[in-house]
Homo-oligomer: A and B are copies of this chain.
Amino acid sequence: MRATVIHAPHDIRVEEVPDPVVQRPGDAIVRVVLACICGSDLWAYRGEAARKPGQRIGHEFLGVVEETGPEVTEVRRGDLVVAPFMWSDGVCDFCTEGLTTSCEHGGFWGSVGHDGGQGEAVRVPHANGTLVRLPAEAASDDRLLTALLTLSDVMGTGHHAALGAGVRPGSTVAVVGDGAVGLCGVLAARRLGAERIIALGRHETRTALARRFGATDVVAERGQAAVETVRALTRGQGAHAVIEAVGTEQSMRTAVGITRDGGSIGFVGVPHGSGSGLDLSEMFDRNIAVRGGVAPVRAYIPELLPEVLDGTLDPSPVFDLAVDLDGVPGGYKAMDERAALKVLMRN
C-alpha cells in the first residue's frame, strides 16, 4: 500500500510500504477513507519532536474494516469505524475508568513498527477497545463524515480541555489558541453551557470561525496586553475556565494571567519548551488549578457521537483544505505556513 512517511524535518513523502496484515488475534485492518493532519504532527514536521527516519505519521482516521483477527468481536468486516488517536485495550483499570490514554497496552499510530493514519490502510491493535462503529449511512454524507473524523482527536481534545477547565452552565470561558483544538474547545464550552466565551486570536478567518462556533468576544492582543483586555472584559476578575490549546510557555503564562481566582486551566496543548510557564506562587495566591493532558478521546466518543450524528455538534468547518494522499506533503506545508487551518485527506 502507499502511506505517508517522515524522513527528516520538512521531508514528508508518500511511499510504497508493506500492506498491513493481522498480526495478533485482536488486530483489525482498516481501509482509510478519511484522515487528516494535526497541529501536533507539525512538531514532528518541524523537527521539534524527534522521529526516526522512516516512521509513519498521522493519528486521525476513519475508514472501513477490511479484516479482523479471531478475537475481534466489536467490529466486523465492512463496518464504518472511527479510531481515536491512540489505541487502547478497553479492559484495563485505566480504560475502565475512562482514561484510555493511560491504557496499559495503549500506543500511538505512527510509532516505530506501527502504521500511521495518513495512508491507505492501518493495522489496529486492540480493535475491540479502540474502534467505534459508525452508522453505515454516514459514508454517503461528506459533511457528516468529516465531522465524525474530528472525534478521532480535535473535538474530543477540545471537550477534554473544557472539562479540565471546569466549564459549567453560566461560566465565562477564555480560549488560548486559535487552532482546530482551540476552536473545538469553543464548541465544547458552548455545549457545556458557557455563557460567555472569549477567544484569543488575531487570524481573522479563525476568529470568524470561533464566533460561528459560539465565541462571544475575540481578543486580538497577546501577552500582558491580552491579560489586561480579558480582565477588562470580566470586571477585572478573569475567566472562570481557561482552555490552553497551544502548549508553549508564553501561552500558559497568558492562561494563568487571565484565569479568575479559584478558576481552572484545562490544558491540552502538547507542552513544548524548557519552562512550563506556570508561576506556582501566583497559582497559590489565587487558587488557580491546572488540569488536563493528553485527551482520552476514545472515552468521549459515546457521549459526543449522537450529537455529531444529529448535527447539533458540527466541528467539520475546522477543515479548510482537502487533499488526496499524494497531497499530504503539500498539506503539511500549508499548515506549517498557517495557510490552512486543518487539512483533510481523502483516499
Contact = CB atoms under 8 A, between A and B. Distances in A.
Contacts of A296: 287
A280 B291 CA distance: 11
Tell me the dominant secondary structure on chain A's binding face. Answer: mixed
Nearest to A296: B287
A99 interface: yes
B293 A284 contact: yes
Interface in A90-148: 93-94, 97, 99, 101-102
B287 A283 contact: no
A270 interface: yes
A78 interface: no
- Please tell me the size bucket of the interface on A: 20 to 34
A99 B262 contact: yes
B281 A278 contact: no
Nearest to A166: B291
22 contacts: A93-B237, A99-B261, A99-B262, A101-B287, A102-B287, A252-B280, A264-B291, A267-B280, A271-B280, A276-B278, A278-B280, A283-B293, A284-B292, A284-B294, A285-B293, A286-B293, A287-B294, A287-B296, A289-B290, A289-B291, A290-B291, A291-B291
Top-8 shortest CB links A-B: A289-B291, A287-B293, A102-B261, A276-B280, A271-B280, A284-B293, A99-B262, A271-B281
